[in-house]
Amino acid sequence: MKRRPSFAPIRVTVLAAALLAALPAAAQHPAINLLDANGDLIDPVNGENAAAPFSTRQTCGMCHDYDVITQGYHFQMGWDTVADDFGAAAGRPWSLSNGFLGRWYPFAFRQLAKKVNTHPDQIDLTVYDFVGFSSPARGEPPCGACHPGGGGLEFDRDGNRYDERLAAEPELGDSLDGDYHRSRWDASGVVEADCLICHLAGYDFGARVDQLTSGNYRWAVVAGSRLGTVDGAVRRDQQPTVTYETRRFNADGTITLDMSWPPPDDNCMYCHGRSDVKKRGFSWNDFFNPDIHNQQRISCTACHPAGLDHQIAKGDEPAFTVAPELDGSNRSCAECHMSGYLGAPVPDHSRVRPGHIQTIRCESCHIPQLNRAAANGHEATTGRLEFHTRPREAAQPGDEGLWFPDYERRSDGMIYPVNRFLAVYWGNRDADGLIHPLFLREHEAGWRAFSDQVVDDDEDGHPEVNRPEEILAGLRAFASTLEGNQRFRQVRPVFITSETAYELADDGALVESPLAGTPMEGASEVRFSINHNTAPTRMTLGINGCADCHVSEAHFFKGQQMVDLHGPDGAPVTVSNGLFFGCRPFAFTINSLHQQIVSPYIGPVIILVVFLIVVHYHSYGPKRITFDPYSHEIERFNLAERGVHLFRLIAFVILGITGLILAFNLHLWQDLLFGSAANLHNFHVWAGVVFIVTTVFGALLWFRDAAFEAYDREWVRKMGGYLGHRGEVPAGRFNAGQKMFYWYSAIFGVVMSITGVMLIFKGSFSLATVCITSTFHNLVGFFLIAGVLAHAYLGTVANPGTWRVLVDGSVTREWAEHHHPNWYRALLAEEKVAKHEQERAADHDREQGAGPKEA
């Protein structure tokens, strides 16, 4: 009789699972029996059923809802949406699902076979091959290595378990069914969901891969969990046998495992470490590629939690994702750092412009570099994927190597850090007009036919197809090798690189067409988001000020982003990062002048102006013409003029202070005077509005007085008497210097007003326009400040008491005659005329009054 498994230890599992969920590290799981696929007991200690591989469906499924768990996207990977016509409506009939199990994309490249096929030529990968025989390149594990089982690795597209159905219908192995063609499911078994690959600390990922590549699918969990060793390989027509490590078992045949909830980070890295270092340079627990969160012992599940349904929260990866309904379900930077989750510090962004926070993702500044080589492209030309690394000197992805992210602006208006990955491969334009990517075996056949005509231009040991004559040779070769291929109704080869398709015209000439706007758009490049390996604060962009990004040698704008794996000389073709978020090189060059020329030298220029003022004062002293306030002798400025000047002065002082703080990023003064960057910005904007209004009114009020007269030349020749000239200096209501300042301040004021308004509404303009506008705004502002300083000196210290005219509006006759003789004489003439008119009026009145008396 079969000995029934002991369920006594299992009764506490539900309670234990609840306790395990609260533990941050591994804890002992209650003792359990292992069961095989039939539910029979495995007891290696007593020799009962000791050669059978255990089944997670039966063993773990005794207490955990296996069917619910395996609906999680890690197990399904698109299998729940798989269909032969899934991608037809989108013009990609080779894509069979919305996940990695069925979807084709350049990085993975292999194509899952449709369920229904009419010829072997139509089949690249059956599901059986996908699991263990799908390595796309040398040293690469098969696709099934990073699929934990369940879903499409356990059940076919009709919902049947592969091994059971093939055993019942062996003729399926000779059919063209995409699930069974030339498969050996009856011998290999299926890959059930491997719970231990996530929850068992120390899981042996390499041993699992060895079993999959040997065709020992149902034995993989035994080797991976280290509970036993497996001998024999289905791939070599051997019957695998298990030898369990009896020392791991209790005396009664049960086993107690150190299970972990949440899963240890190292277990996540079994899959995400290998694939993500290639996609984006991501690594964890890495001295050479550190992450500040990892250093604080924050686990993966802190940001990527999951419930009992095992739908693990995920980020928003636009590059061919799976389970799009879960995009953005992970914890964002703001969710943690604005709420203090897990003790996360609330950031102080006082040094950062508010506009930067609104348009630049946190990762763009906080992941300034990666220290593990990533892949930034591959070529499928030879029939095997040949990967290119960044940095180029790295031998393979994952090696130690420093590189800097690419950047792009996405549809939400934010700038993200990415790794731009490019693919070069061949396709065929079928009779439906669609370009179908070729299989790797078809690439290999074509390569053999024309490889002798390809030159290794960059001498890296891998000949590249980059010259027109090489592309032509390849197109002709593929036209020959694809002849008679039963998966196409028309043979018309296409070479795909840099989002461009090259093919032969009817006359045999080489023609090219963009992939943009076609179903193949994005089929030769993938932009992988960079989200991890966050640097310490001292290394983030902006910590040293604006110069971290806004100088010509800074990577953020001027770093080179690869757009073609090979140019005419075989070397990569690159363009500047700025092009991908709206800043053209010439605009950035102008903008960088601010950091390289304006910022370093404008301070000394302003100091020089002050110095010259001091020198002038000590050399010539002030003009000591008595100024009696409230004399009411002559009105110089009326109330409207005084009001406009006063409010313009106040607005300009606020603008000058806030503008200098913004221009030089003086965050300490910002915090001291305004409390926050937002308050500083608001003061600057509202002062700017007042300045614009008063500038317009001032220009209208004083336009006629600012017109130059002939006598102004004499004022200029004598420098207004400010350099020691004694005697009269001609001047109207405004002297020549004041007139020049009127036009100086009016013109610069208009420029500042226009550029200021554009910067207030900068979201309506391209980044290139904003870069140029902000540079001119700052530069003109500096010149305006220097001019106002000189104007203020001449209107106050150099002429004591003069500023009081802006208070009461009146001056003495002596003051007017000395400073503005022409204006004063005009006033005397006007007074004389007015007096004469008054006398005539009085005489007239007397005459009118005398008439009746004489009568």
CB-based burial label for 357 (10 Å; 0-12, 13-18, 19+): middle
Query: DSSP characters for 242-259?
Result: EEE-GGGB-TTS-B--EE
Mean pLDDT, the chain, whole residue set: 88
Distance between CA 747 and CA 226 in Å, rounded? 80
Tens digit of each residue's pLDDT (9 = 90 or more) over 280-304: 999 999 999 999 999 999 999 999 9
Measured distance CA(849)–CA(177) in Å, rounded: 127
Q: What is the pLDDT of residues 443-491, one digit of tens each?
A: 999 999 999 999 999 888 889 999 999 999 999 999 999 999 999 999 9
Report how far Cα 461 is from the mean position of its chain's Cα atoms: 34
Residue 357: CA atoms inside 13 Å, Cβ hemisphere, count? 12
Q: How confident is the model at residue 725 (pLDDT cuts 50, 70, 90)?
A: low
Over 90: is that where the pLDDT of 321 sits? no
Check residue 29 and give its pLDDT: 87
What's the rounded mean pLDDT across residues 197-209? 94
pLDDT tens string 361-400: 999 999 999 999 999 999 999 998 899 999 999 999 999 9
Q: Using the predicted structure, report yes or no on whether residue 792 has a pLDDT greater than 90.
A: no
**What is the mean pLDDT of the segment spanning 677-685?**
90
Give SS3 for 224.
helix
pLDDT greater than 70 at residue 781: yes
Which has the higher per-residue pLDDT, 426 or 818?
Answer: 426
Confidence of residue 621 (pLDDT cuts 50, 70, 90): low
Whether the per-residue pLDDT at 854 is higher than 70: the answer is: no
| Residues 557 and 588: beta-carbon distance below 8 Å | yes
423 sits in which H/E element: strand 415-429
Nearest to 409 by CA among 361, 372, 479, 472: 361
What phi and psi, each to the nearest 5 degrees, are found at residue 198?
A: -100, -40
**pLDDT score recorded for residue 849:** 67
pLDDT, position 12? 38
From CA 380, how far away is CA 44, in angstroms rounded? 48
More confident of the two residues 654 and 801? 654
CB 319 within 8 A of CB 529: yes
Residue 5 has pLDDT above 70, yes or no: no
Closest CA to 97 of 117, 72, 74, 76: 76
CB count, 10 Å around CB of 432?
13
* Alpha-carbon span 127 to 144, nearest angstrom: 9
Q: Would you state the pLDDT for residue 11?
A: 37
| DSSP three-state, residue 380 | coil
757 pLDDT above the threshold of 50: yes
Asked if pLDDT for residue 122 goes beyond 90, the answer is yes
Query: In the chain, what percentage of residues exceed pLDDT 70?
Result: 92
pLDDT for the residue numbered 624: 58
> How many whole angstroms separate alpha carbon 126 and alpha carbon 177?
8
Are 112 and 143 contacting, i.e. CB atoms less than 8 angstroms apart?
Answer: no
SS3 readout for 341-367? HHHCCCCCCCCCCHHHHHHECHHHHHC
Average the pLDDT over 614-630 and give the result: 67
What is the pLDDT, as a whole number, of residue 537?
87
Q: Return d(Cα 63, Cα 17) in angstroms, integer.
A: 10
Going by pLDDT thresholds of 50, 70 and 90, the confidence category of residue 629 is low
117-133: average pLDDT: 96
Go through the chain and tell me how many residues it has: 855
pLDDT digits (tens, 9 = 90+) for 173-186: 999 999 999 999 99
H or E, element range at 642: helix 639-664
Whether residue 126 is predicted with pLDDT greater than 90 in this model: the reply is yes
Tell me the three state secondary structure of residue 324: helix
Identify the DSSP state of 179. Answer: T
Q: What pLDDT does 22 receive?
A: 38
Write the CA distances from 187 to 216, 218, 239, integer angstroms: 8, 9, 8
* Residue 71: exposure state from Cβ atoms within 10 A (0-12, 13-18, ≥19): middle
Q: Is the pLDDT of residue 628 over 70?
A: no
418 closest CA partner among 552, 526, 257: 526
* pLDDT at residue 24 in the model: 44
Banded model confidence at residue 855, pLDDT cuts 50, 70, 90: very low
Helix (H) or strand (E) holding 757: helix 736-760
Q: Which residue has the higher pLDDT, 716 or 438?
A: 438
Distance between CA atoms of residues 567 and 564, nearest Å = 7
The string of pLDDT tens digits covering residues 69-117 is 999 999 999 999 999 999 999 999 999 999 989 998 888 888 999 999 9
CA angle 325, 333, 100 (to 5 degrees): 35
CA torsion, points 823, 829, 831, 834, in degrees to nearest 10? -130
